A and B are shown apart, each in its own frame.
Chain A
């Protein structure tokens, strides 16, 4: 167990924290538990953690504040665990630097899958997160705002995107002009959503084209590179 992945689990509810810690231990992880933010801080000083699972709503210092502290000081990836409310959905939309989030009640298996994805991504590219938070991109008359996860057309009308489509578009826009193959795209975008694995990248690309291309059969924005993958054509302004 010496090389086991080390998880810090922070949640004020012992009734959830303890069985979850047990489950993760059974899955081969090394788990430390903290009941509040100050306990978490002292554990962070004592150990090197590979990943933090963090509850947002806690008495005293909340999870958001702790997350800011962690992402500001370290490279440790964070997954939020939160009871779904409108407020948390909005906050998560603001991308406070967390790598992923799950809402209570969640499937422990799915949580483990997400932990793996986040760790793999962290291993590969350090702190490479999908898009810088708060960034705004303009391309071919479209505006993509990362803080609100919104895509608007030239008239200011919002275009509805699924989470997967948004991730894919952000991946392409933030790497405009660079050809990305399917594996790379899958790598960048997956993990955010449970069904991301089931969907072929090609399928999502065609849905995205239908929404943003004036002629989806003859795409001008997201171009297919034969044998390679996809590339975002045209100029991208990053504001």
Chain B
């Protein structure tokens, strides 16, 4: 159902234009049809009016009926004379027709004190002998006409017009006339017209649309695949608006690249120039006599070093020199788990089926280390399991801690925010652990998810595209 609405700019434009055209053609057809119906009505009443005028003329001239006249009279329908009008009071009268008839009679020198006209769908019994125009289509449908290229029209009856006029002597003369149905020729003409308009309008529109949308498409692709430091500019093409947009995009991407390069230079400076004085400090600390004081200073320096490490890693995400390679996930987890168990932490992992993923190992190690470190810090222990579903690999790290209130889960990924909301150094960490882990996972096309477990505790999941 949703597919009916096109998603592209050109598709939507075309659909709207097509729909509007259809609507316009519909209205057009309706008006034409109405006009044609009206014309038939007028045609029928004109025939009736002239029949009345002709009949009265003949009566007035008292001319003998010509040869064949009787037959013709019966075929053409005879006038009905009577004290009452054939258009009775219960019939809906048509003032417009009456007015037209009055004018016609006046033009022919006939004067009537009253004229009545009506349209009925079924002929009343008293008028059956007084009907004209019943066989109008006969000639048109005759083989002669057809062989000469004339078009056939169906001889269908829509209804009847009755015209009734009051003579000066007070008697009414009435006649009925057939109103024909309009031919389907109209529909065919309209159809032909519509198709012509569609072709004339839509073909250039499609071409124009492609002219506009192709540069937009390549711009979109470029924006998606944007890599800082890309030297090649996108060629300017399409209409002026689009060219301007592409120019602006090119300028923006070169600005972004420039800024990122500056950032790299700055980070390199931080990494090198900050660590050297830190190292000097670390050496000098050794000459501090008070052992407790010395240990504290060493811990402080190590904290700064770790924080520096996290910040630098986070800033370098996506620009790693390390290539992604297929890595055995089991051994990866085991290596990290061993690191933690060697430090006396409770981390459990049972080797399962062989799984591999294309990853940058040092980065994923780091992300996993952060997740396990959090589990130990807040949940005392960590349970690690691997799950594969379709093309995704999930590494779960479960702890037995208090979990996180559901509304706070997403904010855990914000930099420098810790679960306990306090910044005391006792809990350790730079506050970048989860931010960094998620950045690493997303750089691999995966993600990190946090979820409170039903049995209590938190489950952190590292999601990776499986090999």
Residue B214 at the chain A interface, CB threshold 8 Å: no
Q: Which residues of B contact A199 (CB under 8 A)?
A: 342
Residue B13 at the chain A interface, CB threshold 8 Å: no
Q: Which residues of A contact B286 (CB under 8 A)?
A: 23, 108-109
**Closest residue of B by beta carbon distance from A153:** B328
Contact A23 B321 (CB under 8 A): no
CA distance A160 to B268 in the complex (A): 28
Contact B342 A90 (CB under 8 A): no
Contact A15 B309 (CB under 8 A): no
CA distance A130 to B311 in the complex (A): 34
Q: A15-B280, A198-B342 are in contact. Are A105 and B301 (CB under 8 A)?
A: yes
Minimum CB–CB distance for B309 against chain A, Å: 7
Minimum CB–CB distance for A190 against chain B, Å: 15
Number of A-B contacts (CB under 8 A): 102
Contact B276 A158 (CB under 8 A): no
Contact B327 A158 (CB under 8 A): yes
A157-205 residues at the B interface, CB under 8 angstroms: 157-162, 165, 195, 198-199
Which residue among A19, A106, A211 has the maximum number of chain B CB atoms within 10 Å of its CB? A19
Residue B338 at the chain A interface, CB threshold 8 Å: yes
Which residue among B286, B322, B365, B467 has the maximum number of chain A CB atoms within 10 Å of its CB? B286
Q: Which residues of B contact A90 (CB under 8 A)?
A: 321-322
Majority DSSP secondary structure for residues of A touching B: mixed
CA distance A89 to B309 in the complex (A): 13
Residue A84 at the chain B interface, CB threshold 8 Å: yes
Contact A85 B268 (CB under 8 A): yes
B255-292 residues at the A interface, CB under 8 angstroms: 268, 271-272, 275-284, 286-287
Contact B276 A15 (CB under 8 A): yes
Residue B411 at the chain A interface, CB threshold 8 Å: no
Which residue among A23, A153, A157, A159 has the maximum number of chain B CB atoms within 10 Å of its CB? A157
CA distance A143 to B286 in the complex (A): 44
CA distance A26 to B339 in the complex (A): 34
CA distance A158 to B325 in the complex (A): 7
Contact B321 A159 (CB under 8 A): no
Residue B92 at the chain A interface, CB threshold 8 Å: no
Contact B272 A83 (CB under 8 A): yes
Minimum CB–CB distance for B172 against chain A, Å: 107
Contact A157 B328 (CB under 8 A): yes
Minimum CB–CB distance for B351 against chain A, Å: 7
CA distance A165 to B336 in the complex (A): 12
Contact B275 A210 (CB under 8 A): no
Q: Which residues of B contact A23 (CB under 8 A)?
A: 283, 286-287
Which residue among A57, A85, A90, A104 has the maximum number of chain B CB atoms within 10 Å of its CB? A104
Contact B334 A85 (CB under 8 A): no
CA distance A211 to B330 in the complex (A): 8
Contact A161 B331 (CB under 8 A): yes
Minimum CB–CB distance for B160 against chain A, Å: 92
Residue B356 at the chain A interface, CB threshold 8 Å: yes
Contact B331 A105 (CB under 8 A): no
Minimum CB–CB distance for B30 against chain A, Å: 72
Contact B326 A157 (CB under 8 A): yes
Q: A16-B276, A160-B361, A210-B351 are in contact. Are A105 and B282 (CB under 8 A)?
A: yes
Q: Which residues of A contact B302 (CB under 8 A)?
A: 105
Contact A104 B335 (CB under 8 A): no
Q: How many residues of B contact A (CB 8 A)?
A: 43
Neighbour of A105 across the interface among B272, B281, B322, B326, CB < 8 A: B281
Residue B298 at the chain A interface, CB threshold 8 Å: yes
Q: Which residues of B contact A19 (CB under 8 A)?
A: 280, 283-284
Neighbour of B275 across the interface among A83, A86, A157, A207, CB < 8 A: A83
Contact B334 A207 (CB under 8 A): yes
Q: Which residues of B contact A156 (CB under 8 A)?
A: 326
CA distance A155 to B326 in the complex (A): 9
Neighbour of B331 across the interface among A81, A83, A108, A211, CB < 8 A: A211
Contact A210 B321 (CB under 8 A): no
CA distance A232 to B158 in the complex (A): 106
CA distance A106 to B342 in the complex (A): 21
CA distance A15 to B365 in the complex (A): 34
A84-141 residues at the B interface, CB under 8 angstroms: 84-87, 89-90, 104-109
Q: Which residues of A contact B72 (CB under 8 A)?
A: none
Q: Which residues of A contact B383 (CB under 8 A)?
A: none
Contact A108 B351 (CB under 8 A): no
Minimum CB–CB distance for A55 against chain B, Å: 9
Contact A86 B338 (CB under 8 A): no
CA distance A156 to B271 in the complex (A): 34
Residue B305 at the chain A interface, CB threshold 8 Å: yes
Chain B 299-330, CB-CB to A under 8 Å as 1, else 0, gives: 00110010001001000100011100111101
Contact A86 B281 (CB under 8 A): no
CA distance A89 to B467 in the complex (A): 26
Q: Which residues of A contact B339 (CB under 8 A)?
A: 162
Q: Which residues of A contact B365 (CB under 8 A)?
A: 160
Minimum CB–CB distance for B240 against chain A, Å: 45
Q: Which residues of B contact A15 (CB under 8 A)?
A: 276-277, 280
CA distance A39 to B426 in the complex (A): 46
**Closest residue of A by beta carbon distance from B316:** A86
Q: Which residues of A contact B205 (CB under 8 A)?
A: none
Contact B276 A83 (CB under 8 A): yes
Residue B332 at the chain A interface, CB threshold 8 Å: yes
Minimum CB–CB distance for A63 against chain B, Å: 13
Neighbour of A84 across the interface among B275, B322, B335, CB < 8 A: B275
CA distance A77 to B365 in the complex (A): 31
Interface residues of B (CB under 8 A from A): 268, 271-272, 275-284, 286-287, 298, 301-302, 305, 309, 312, 316, 320-322, 325-328, 330-332, 334-335, 338-339, 342, 351, 356, 361-362, 365, 467
9 sampled A-B residue pairs with Cβ under 8 A: A13-B280, A84-B309, A87-B321, A105-B282, A105-B302, A107-B298, A157-B327, A160-B332, A160-B365
Q: Which 7 A-B pairs have the closest CB atoms?
A: A104-B279, A105-B279, A160-B332, A105-B282, A16-B280, A83-B275, A160-B331
Known: A106-B282, A157-B328. 17 other contacts (CB 8 A): A13-B280, A15-B277, A15-B280, A19-B280, A83-B272, A83-B276, A86-B320, A86-B321, A104-B276, A105-B302, A155-B326, A156-B326, A158-B328, A158-B361, A161-B331, A162-B339, A210-B351
